[in-house]
Structures are given as C-alpha cells and as structure tokens.
Structure 1
Amino acid sequence: MIDIELQHYRELTEEARTRLIEAYADVRAPLLHLPNYRVAAFAERLGRHASEPGFELVLGYAGEVPIGYAYGNTIEEGDRWWTRMIKPLPAEVAALPTLALKEIGVRTQWRGTGVARRIHDELLSGRTEPQVTLMVNPAAGDGKVLALYETWGYEAINEVQPSPQAPPLVAMIRPR
C-alpha cells in the first residue's frame, strides 16, 4: 500500500486552497483549455462550495506533494444540485440529507493505486448523511471513471447539464 498522509479541512484555509488548486491543475491538465475546467473557473466554484453547509476537504499527500483530493458538502431537498436534474427524481432521493461529492481527483502518477478510493472513503468516514451523490462525465477515461464509481457502489440516477459550458454529466448515488 502506498504511504500517503490524509488531511481533513472543514474550512478552506489559504494553504489548503493553494495546495488543492496545485493538485487540481495537474489532475485536470489535459482539460484546462476548456472553459469549465480552467483553474480560474475551478477556483470560483471552490470558493462557493467552501462556503456551503457541511463543507469538508480531504487532501492526500506523498511527502509535501498534494497528490489527490476529494471535497463535498451537505445538500438538502430543494438544493440546486437536485433541481438541475433533467428528469424528475423520486421524492425520497432528494428528501434525505446527502453528501454531494463535488470534486475528486488524483495525479496521474498515483492513479490505479487505490489512492482515490482511500481519499473518497476518508471523506465519507466522518460524515452523518445517509447517502452520497456525485456527478461524472460519462466520457471521462472512455467510460472507465463511471465504471469505477459503479464498483464503489454508486448507481446512475439521472442526467444533468450543470452549466452551458459543462459537458453533460451522469448523476450517481449510493448509501454512505
């Protein structure tokens, strides 16, 4: 097993923000030319997400290098996360407090090593929400990312177009 240190942040300190953006820029490097993936667009979303209820970030480090991250926050019924779905959701899905996993990423060198799952599970470990949801680009990794989430217990529940600049995404959910 790869030796990494996992650090939790329940508020976005300047140091955590800097390290997260550093890792994000490397993780998303092939996509940074697209408007929704630009570092400035991510930094804007991050600022908004960090101010939302139940925000939590887990950064994974190999020595001093941030190699991966996952963050999310609590959403409730009526949250814009749910209202952007293309098809109506069953009422019981959106009625429960839910952890919305807003971002997860691992630098290329550490992909396929279990680091993403460890960071993911660490984020979920202290949460109280009964379910967790995420959105994934079905084309990411030629479908391998969506398939990976399915092995983690997520199931597709809807489609969403979060913004005109964003690719169409698949919304997934699983019990915590």
Structure 2
Amino acid sequence: MTTTIDLRTFTALDAARGDLLDVYAEVRAPLLHLPNYAVTVFGERLDRHGTEPGFMAVLAYADGHPVGYAYGNRIEHGDRYWQRTSPAPPAQYTERPAVALKEIGVSPAWRGTGTARRIHDALLASREEPYATLMVNKAAGDGKVHALYESWGYRDIGQSQPSAASPVLTVMTRPSR
C-alpha cells in the first residue's frame, strides 16, 4: 500500500467514538452475528472503558478514513480484570498499575502491513505503567493472532472469561517498553 497512515491519539472517548464504532464494524464483520461481538455490545463496552482511568485510544487513518484502532486504560491491583484471571497473576504484574489493551483491530485491507504494530506501539509510547496486558482468543485466526502477540513480546499468564457471552481468553503480558 502506498497510502500514508496517520495515527491519532485520543484521551477522551467522545472525540473518537464514531470512528471507533465504524472501524470496529469493518474489522469484526465476520463475527458481528455473535452476541459478544455485536456493534451495540461493543459500544456498551467502549462507553464503560472510556470512563475508566487512563483511557487512551489510537486510531489509524488512511485518506481520512479510519482503518485501525487500539484502546486501553490503566488497571490497578484488585481490578476486575485481574480478579477474573486464573490462575492469579504473579504480583509483579499487579502490584503496580498496568495498561490493559482492551481492543486492537485493523481493517482487512491493512492487515499484514505493520499497521497493527504501529498502533500498538503508539498506544504504549507515552504510558507510564511498567506492564501492558491483553486478552486474546488463542484459537482466533488459527492461532495467528496469539502468535503475533508473542512476536511482540507478550507471554501467557492465565485465562479469563470477561462475560458469559465471551469465549475463554488467554491473558498475556509484557513490559510496556
């Protein structure tokens, strides 16, 4: 692709919400029929996450159109994120705040171009938390997504099922830098 990607950082949800919903619908199109992946359900999660401490989103734009995104927020010791992780994560990850990457996605046409990694790195670049964590469906994409996160330095530390409609996810972590 020869189009230049423009990365934009947002610390308030209202400025990015519409574009996040649009690109989410494109990224997750094959899964939108599943209850946990419906755009309305994503919107509800996004609204909740947008009010949590340390919220930040990075969107990638090509020719003014959103083609990828990531967002996350700070989680503290005792956060429900850690409470749902089994086995209990080692204290080194929970004793200080961590940044939880709640969602990351890239439009199909932009996959394999390094755009996801650029978005991810931009999200972590200004974070002060010592660790980043995310959850992934280990079976998604025949394990390719999990392997991608491993190539970025993430390591498995447990499992979690964030909601009854969610599959069991693998919890991964790595140093933020």
TM-score in terms of structure 2 length: 0.96
Aligned length: 175
SS at match of 2:16: helix
Alignment partner, residue 11 of structure 1: 12
Give structure 1 stretches of 5+ with no counterpart: none
Give structure 2 stretches of 5+ with no counterpart: none
- 1:24-173 equivalences under 5 Å are 24-173=24-173
Report the alpha carbon displacement of residue 35 of structure 1 after superposing the two structures with TM.
0.5
Within 1, Cα distance between the matches of 2:63 and 2:24? 17
Within 1, Cα distance between the matches of 2:113 and 2:3? 7
Identity of aligned residues (%): 58
Check 1:2–1:136 CA distance in 2 against 1; reply closer, same or farther (3 A cut): farther
SS at match of 1:127: coil
Alignment partner, residue 20 of structure 2: 20
CA RMSD, Structure 1 to Structure 2 (Å): 1.0
1:2·1:113 contact (CA, 8 Å) conserved in 2?
Answer: no
